[in-house]
Amino acid sequence: MTAPDALTPPSDLRVLVTAGAAGIGKAIAEGFAAVGAKVHISDVDADAVKAICTGEITGTVADAADEAATRNLFGEAREILGGLDVVVANAGIEGPTGPVSDISAEDWDKTLDINLRGAYIAARFASDDLIKSRGSFIGIASVAGRLPFAYRTPYAASKWGIVGLAKSLASELGPQGVRANAILPGIVEGPRIDRVINARAERLGLTYDEMRKRNLEKVALRRMVSPHDIAAMCLFLNTPGGSNITGQALSVCAGVETL
């Protein structure tokens, strides 16, 4: 096999991406579709689902933390795609910013429900399909899943949990041919990081620009990453060249050293 062949995903992949109508999820869905995969996405935003569902991308309106809605999502995806080879658990929210003493149980539960429970439910409903196809599960975590993140404890806890989920799935399902990995994005360009920077700037009494500069000073390459960088890693993990990568927490972060 030549190097270009090893770096090209099969053109007949059947892919499900949760929260695939915007941001990182949209980049992942469109990246797989661009190499010929059939892609089914979910999202809570019905208008966004409708907008992305063209060509090889189909979709279902669903809340990733809702068990019944996710069961229905997987049923529709199987019916449309004929099975699943890749499942990307991407759904997540930024959660609250503040000292742990100020974080309500309600905000904690909401963050963990969407970010971690959502990934677990996706893995639960995906496992039989992925065993049949000897497929791949990817959990979208964060560098907050390998570093401490003051004032963002619910978010960090959920992302550490996704890393543990992926590693455990790799061990559990590996003998049946299934691979599982977590991708840890760094500071990703887009509206979500703008909200996070604003919230932390307010907490510390800084301007947005001052907070952004502080954040990038903690990154080796002094830049944010793009949603397309995360999509590229998802694609690579599903090429022949990525076929022996499992149980890993893979940072795509431009070298984030601390948060």
Per the prediction, the chain carries an average pLDDT of 96
**Mean pLDDT, range 38-43, rounded to an integer:** 98
Mean pLDDT calculated for residue range 135-146? 98
**212 in Cβ contact with 197 (< 8 Å):** yes
Determine contact, residues 238/13, Cβ cutoff 8 Å. yes
Q: 114 near 161, Cβ under 8 Å? A: no
For residue 3, the model assigns a pLDDT of: 76
* Model confidence at 2: pLDDT above 90: no
Predicted local distance difference test score (pLDDT) of residue 200: 84
Q: How far is CA 86 from the centre of its chain?
A: 13
From the candidates 120, 151, 155, 208, give the one annotated as an active-site residue.
155
173: Cα separation from own chain's centroid: 20
Neighbours of 216 (CB within 10 A): 15
Q: What's the mean pLDDT in 22-46?
A: 97
20-34, 78-92, 185-199, 211-225: least confident range: 185-199
Q: What does 212-256 look like in DSSP terms, one character per residue?
A: HHHHHTTBTTSSPBPHHHHHHHHHHTTSGGGTT--S-EEEESS-B
% of the chain residues with pLDDT over 90: 91
Quick one: average pLDDT of 31-48?
A: 97
Q: What is the pLDDT of residue 63?
A: 97
**How far is Cα 240 from Cα 244, in angstroms, rounded to an integer?**
8
Maximum Cα–Cα distance for the chain, whole Å?
56
Per-residue pLDDT tens for 75-98? 999 999 999 999 999 999 999 989
pTM for the structure as a whole:
0.95
Q: Give, in order, the Cα–Cα distances in Å from 181 to each of 36, 59, 138, 228, 243.
A: 22, 24, 5, 18, 11
Specify the pLDDT at position 13. Answer: 98
Active site residue 155: yes
The tens digit of pLDDT for each residue in 145-199 reads 999 999 999 999 999 999 999 999 999 999 999 999 999 999 999 888 898 899 8
Residue 143 · residue 160 · CB < 8 Å: no
Whether 1 has a pLDDT exceeding 80, the answer reads no
